[in-house]
Amino acid sequence: MVRNKRASKALKGTYLALVLAFLYIPIVVMIALSFNKSVSRAEWTGFTFDWYAKLFQSKQIMAALRVTLEVAVVATAVSTVIGTLGAIGMHAMNTGMANVLVNLSYLPMTTPDIVTGVSLMLMFVFAKVPLSKWTMIMAHIAFDTPYVLFSVMPKLRQMNPNLYEAALDLGCSPMKALGKVIVPEISPGIVTGALLAFTMSLDDFVISYFTSNTDQNLAMIVYSAARRGVEPTMYALSTLMFVAIMALLLLVNRRSGLENM
Amino acid sequence: MKRSWYASPYALWMVLFTVVPLLFVCYYAFTDAAGAFTTANFTKIAQPMYLLVLWDSLRLAVYCTALCLLIGYPTAYFLASRDFSRAQSLVVLILVPMWMNFLLRTYAMMTLLEDNGVLNTLLRSIGLPGFKLIGTEGAVLLGMVYNYLPFMVLPIYTVLKKMDYSVIEAAEDLGCSPIRVVSRVVLPMSIPGVVSGITMVFMPAVTTFSISRLMSSGMVYLVGDMIEDYFISMNNRNVGSSISLVMLVLIILSIGFLRKVDPDNQGGGLW
Amino acid sequence: MIQDMRLIELKGVCKNFGDTQVLHDVDLYIRKCEFITLLGPSGCGKTTLLRIIGGFEMPSSGEVLFEGKDMTGIPPYKRRINTVFQKYALFNHLNVYDNIAFGLNLKTPEQLGVQTKKEKKEEIARRVNRMLKLVKMEGYEKRSTNALSGGQQQRIAIARALVNEPEVLLLDEPLGALDLKLRKEMQLELKAMQQQLGITFIYVTHDQEEALTMSDTIAVMNGGRIQQIGDPKGIYDEPKNAFVADFIGESNIVDGVMLQDDLVKFRDTEFQCVDEGFDTNEPVDVVIRPEDIMIVGEDVGMLSGTVESVIFKGVHYEMMIRDEIGGEGQGMLWKVHSTTMQPVGTRVGMTIVPYNIHIMHKAKTADAEPVSETGDKEA
């Protein structure tokens, strides 16, 4: 019986190791290649930071980095405010109205990214709004906000409903009660939501691709480079983006634990 | 001011930037370049050439979903079993790639599989013939499975983890063999997770455009690629919209179907 | 001391939530320095009534007067009333001190009777410390509220409300989450605090014992109506209807017929009683407390029965005795409390003295008509 258990454990372990290998080998290889002297993927000719240096010398990539960060920061800021207020408002609503809004929030999450992208593009083109980082920001707010909303809502539901009333009872006006009691109480949810939104924004390719023309973000650069064929600068860029996203996720994770991811 | 009003900017934004754009898709799908009503866009995409692309997309998405389920279910099950003391960190490891930009992941996979890539070089160096993967359907499938596997593991793992372990012990106690425990108890109880896993894999898989383009250097052409071409290179938004609309309806129908299997949405997906 | 001034007065207050009416035409007045308890089972409307007084709900119709002035539309933060909530509702992002100081911080220096901001800070510290002393929580100022036990959280919640020097303190089942021993202690402390501070307490509970221990006045509620208002002794000894009798303490409730003044018939037996003014042959509810039934020799009682079960309840035995009316084993079960135990199977006699028999009009509908009016208040 014991031997049986040990064997089954070993089997399970091997299986999981294989799955992990499948998931990580490409990433590890890519990170390794970003430090490879040779342009060829086939041989290792020595360690170098050249590709990283090149990366930071590229005007195009630096511009894309700026666009990516600008879009992510603005979109996160706006969607955090709108999403938090939205959650507070929905929490105070009767269930019928709130259900309508919750379903509305699921819409961008269930619509395929490509359809969301082209639909926004159609609207901007129709309204003769030039496709730039500003349209990209508007699109990002639209898909970021539900993440904020769904991070804040559970915190509101967990909150003792009497807290708001207690604040009123002790002399707060409704506005003051919101700022002094509700927002501090749900702040963990707000921060998690903001971090998620920021990650989503940094990470997005499909929707950005369709909603911006003149300004490119990093993911768009990766795409156009990949279509031309593989080049080591992109490995360096990918490695950096990978590290950035990981760092952000660790932050989110530490806050909310895996179950809330 | 009533507090429910705080939701109004949110509602406004969501309507303006998700509902209204979708209405534009409908509008463009049913009009021609001059803006007159027409159903020609749909008759156009009903031609065999287009249907074949649609068929390929569905086929590949189904293969991809099936493969993810096949690989992902045991992964989730083993992770949720109590055999590993550090299971939590293993789970994080498996889920981490999910948050990595899929272009980066695809790019990494390309590097590995290219004709002159790492894998082929390795094979040749030990005297084996290299093989051509990039440009084949297999490569696209591999790229998709690689990208979407974590999306299958997460919801199944969540459901299995929530499952009361004593249920399994009870089944064993009642005389179930380990295989029967899985087939009679674990599997039925994990259906919600499977359903949401399927949704989360099938949906992006059927609409992907960049993965196929990159992994097949354009040899495998899917619906997503077609939509991209109509909007970006051909600038024919009307036909592009009609394809998008068909896609959307298809997705909504399949989600509706899956919701029926799992009416409570217990899998919960990401949330 | 309770003063005869009507501090709060409710007139014809009704409250609907959608289609359900949770309060029916409630009239009630509350005097200065009174400790009044709204007592009733869950869903009887007591909490809603409290929330209307606190300003958290608007009555659907009717008036709420505060010192004779209508305050129906006035929001909670403008009322001189503070509340202790059921689950304390402490602010977890603030420590104990800041929780208590919360309401004072919102006031201007002038409102606190000082001039400068510095003086305000000192004044607040003084008041908070006084409160901490009152609720016996000195030394906990810097603690996080999460680190407190249920009883300690309750004390902080009380301090946080009282520090604002309200004229009325509302308490919504404040002791519900505490264990029995702590609850008993807090009951006495709350009562002492109320007497020391001389402010009005409006207390909501479903625990009749709690109500009887602490209150000057009890309003028993059921089905959105006030069933009876009176002092604890009056309510216990002279319940106005079967619901009140049953809810306040344990009771045997029997169908009976009033034969004439001071004579009632139930269980096929005529009993002397002290109730008058009923119609001849009027069907009534007869209420008899378990401790009011005396066990006598098996053939000398007014009723005879057999002991079916005995439970020791600490100070007395609770026996279920089945009488012999209607044939063997068909009789009704009487709950009897006695300090002497009769073994199961013993045949005993039961005797009830006239003033322990309480006669009540039959309730006309299921959700009992209000029998008592506000004018019935004694004491």
Q: What percent of chain B has pLDDT over 70?
A: 95
The predicted-structure confidence for A169-218, as pLDDT tens digits, reads as follows 998 888 899 899 999 999 989 998 998 899 889 888 999 999 998 899 98
Asked if B255 and B40 touch (Cβ cutoff 8 Å), the reply is no
C85–A185 CB contact, under 8 Å: no
Mean pLDDT computed over B224-228: 90
Predicted confidence at residue C378, as pLDDT, reads 36
Does residue A55 have a pLDDT over 90? no
Residues of C in contact with A188 (CB under 8 A): none
**Residue B59 counted as domain residue:** yes
Predicted confidence at residue C263, as pLDDT, reads 92
Q: Rounded to the nearest 5 degrees, what angle is found at the Cα of A187, between the Cα atoms of A184 and A190?
A: 145
Mean pLDDT computed over C248-257: 87
Element (H, E) at B193: helix B191-207
The predicted-structure confidence for C24-67, as pLDDT tens digits, reads as follows 999 999 999 999 999 999 889 999 999 999 988 889 999 999 98
If pLDDT is split at 50, 70 and 90, which confidence band does C374 have?
very low
Asked if B271 and B62 touch (Cβ cutoff 8 Å), the reply is no
The predicted-structure confidence for C141-189, as pLDDT tens digits, reads as follows 999 988 898 889 999 999 999 999 899 999 999 888 788 888 888 899 8
DSSP 8-state symbol, A200: H
Average pLDDT, chain C: 87
Alpha-carbon distance of C230 to C242, in angstroms, equals 16
Does residue B239 have a pLDDT over 70? yes
Chains in touch with B (≥3 Cβ pairs < 8 A): A
DSSP 8-state symbol, B256: H
**Residue B118 counted as domain residue:** yes
Closest chain A residue to the Cα of B116, Cα to Cα: A42
If pLDDT is split at 50, 70 and 90, which confidence band does A230 have?
low
Three-class DSSP labels, chain C: CCCCCEEEEEEEEEEEECCEEEEEEEEEEEECCCEEEEECCCCCCHHHHHHHHHCCCCCCEEEEEECCEECCCCCHHHCCEEEECCCCCCCCCCEHHHHHHHHHHCCCCHHHCCCCHHHHHHHHHHHHHHHHHHCCCCCCCCCEHHHCCHHHHHHHHHHHHHCCCCCEEEEECCCCCCCHHHHHHHHHHHHHHHHHHCCEEEEEECCHHHHHHHCCEEEEEECCEEEEEECHHHHHHCCCCHHHHHHCCCCEEEEEEEEECCEEEECCEEEECCCCCCCCCEEEEEEECHHHCEEECCCCCCEEEEEEEEEECCCCEEEEEEECCCCCCCCCEEEEEECCCCCCCCEEEEECCHHHCEEEECCCCCCCCCCCCHHHCCC
B residues 196..215 contacting A (CB < 8 A): 203-204, 206-207, 209-210, 213-214
A162–C85 CB contact, under 8 Å: yes
A258–B14 CB contact, under 8 Å: no
A169–C161 CB contact, under 8 Å: yes
B5–A19 CB contact, under 8 Å: no
Name the residue among C336, C353, C325, C371 with its Cα closest to residue C262. C353
Closest chain A residue to the Cα of B256, Cα to Cα: A110
Predicted confidence at residue C367, as pLDDT, reads 45
Pairing status of strand C6-17 against strand C61-66: antiparallel
Residue C272 β-bridge partners: C263
Provide the shortest C-alpha distance from residue B76 to chain A (in Å).
Answer: 9
A126–B24 CB contact, under 8 Å: yes
Predicted confidence at residue C363, as pLDDT, reads 65
**B91 part of contact set with chain A, CB < 8 Å:** yes
Alpha-carbon distance of C76 to C166, in angstroms, equals 12
Q: Rounded to the nearest 5 degrees, what angle is found at the Cα of A62, between the Cα atoms of A61 and A66?
A: 115
If pLDDT is split at 50, 70 and 90, which confidence band does A12 have?
confident
**A243 part of contact set with chain B, CB < 8 Å:** no
Rg over CA atoms, chain C: 25
Token duo for residue C163: 């520090």
Does residue B83 have a pLDDT over 80? no
Q: Which residue has the higher pLDDT, B172 or A225?
A: A225
Does residue C249 have a pLDDT over 90? no
Alpha-carbon distance of C115 to C132, in angstroms, equals 25
Number of C-beta neighbours around residue C198 at 10 A: 11
With 0-12 CB in 10 A as exposed, 13-18 as middle and 19+ as buried, what is A102?
Answer: middle
Number of C-beta neighbours around residue A114 at 10 A: 27
Q: Is A36 helix (H, G, I), strand (E, B) or coil?
A: strand
Predicted confidence at residue B25, as pLDDT, reads 93
Contacts of the segment B258-261: beta carbons below 8 A, 24+ positions apart? B258/B195, B258/B196, B258/B198, B258/B199, B261/B191, B261/B195
**B249 part of contact set with chain A, CB < 8 Å:** no
Does residue B153 have a pLDDT over 70? yes
Does residue A261 have a pLDDT over 60? no
Predicted confidence at residue B265, as pLDDT, reads 52
Does residue B263 have a pLDDT over 70? no
Poorest-pLDDT segment among B88-92, B221-225, C63-67, C305-309: B88-92
Residue boundaries of the structural domains of chain A:
50-260
Q: Which residue has the higher pLDDT, C358 or A74?
A: A74
Q: What is the pTM of this model?
A: 0.77
Mean pLDDT computed over C117-139: 92
Does residue A3 have a pLDDT over 90? no
Mean pLDDT computed over C338-347: 90
The predicted-structure confidence for C220-231, as pLDDT tens digits, reads as follows 999 999 999 999
**A16 part of contact set with chain B, CB < 8 Å:** yes
A171–C75 CB contact, under 8 Å: no
Q: Do chains A and C touch (3 or more CB pairs under 8 A)?
A: yes
**Residue B133 counted as domain residue:** yes
Alpha-carbon distance of C343 to B228, in angstroms, equals 91
Alpha-carbon distance of A213 to C227, in angstroms, equals 74
Contacts of the segment A99-107: beta carbons below 8 A, 24+ positions apart? A101/B7, A101/B10, A101/B11, A101/B14, A104/B11, A104/B14, A104/B15, A104/B18, A104/B19, A105/A145, A105/A146, A105/A149, A105/A150, A105/B14, A106/A146, A107/B14, A107/B18, A107/B19, A107/B22
Predicted confidence at residue A255, as pLDDT, reads 62
Predicted confidence at residue A89, as pLDDT, reads 92
Predicted confidence at residue B262, as pLDDT, reads 61
Picking from B21, B117, B241, the nearest residue to A120 by CB comes out as B21
Predicted confidence at residue A183, as pLDDT, reads 92
Predicted confidence at residue A256, as pLDDT, reads 56
**B107 part of contact set with chain A, CB < 8 Å:** yes
State the amino acid at position B249 in one-letter form: V
Residues of B in contact with A88 (CB under 8 A): 3, 6-7
Provide the shortest C-alpha distance from residue A159 to chain B (in Å).
Answer: 16
Reported as half-sphere exposure (CB side, CA atoms, 13 A), residue A144 has a value of 34
If pLDDT is split at 50, 70 and 90, which confidence band does C369 have?
very low
Alpha-carbon distance of C224 to C43, in angstroms, equals 8
Interacting residues of B58 by C-beta distance below 8 A, sequence separation 6+: B206
Q: What percent of chain A has pLDDT over 90?
A: 40
Does residue C318 have a pLDDT over 60? yes
Strand arrangement, sheet containing C347-351: C294-296, C347-351, C303-312, C317-323, C333-338
Predicted confidence at residue B81, as pLDDT, reads 78
Asked if A111 and B18 touch (Cβ cutoff 8 Å), the reply is yes
Q: What percent of chain C has pLDDT over 90?
A: 45
Picking from C83, C86, C107, the nearest residue to A169 by CB comes out as C83
Interacting residues of A211 by C-beta distance below 8 A, sequence separation 6+: A117, A120, A121, A124, A131, A135, A136, A138, A139
Mean pLDDT computed over B118-147: 83
Residues of C in contact with A176 (CB under 8 A): 106
**Residue B134 counted as domain residue:** yes
What Å distances lie between residue C13 and C27, C53, C57, C317, CA to CA? 7, 11, 12, 44
Reported as half-sphere exposure (CB side, CA atoms, 13 A), residue B218 has a value of 6
Picking from A173, A185, A187, the nearest residue to C77 by CB comes out as A173
State the amino acid at position A97 in one-letter form: M
If pLDDT is split at 50, 70 and 90, which confidence band does A130 have?
very high
**Residue B161 counted as domain residue:** yes
Q: What percent of chain C has pLDDT over 70?
A: 95
CATH architecture for residues A50-260: Orthogonal Bundle (1.10)
Mean pLDDT computed over B88-105: 79
Provide the shortest C-alpha distance from residue A149 to chain B (in Å).
Answer: 9
A165–C87 CB contact, under 8 Å: no
Does residue A41 have a pLDDT over 70? no
Mean pLDDT computed over A67-78: 95
CATH code at B76?
1.10.3720.10
Count of domains observed in chain B: 1
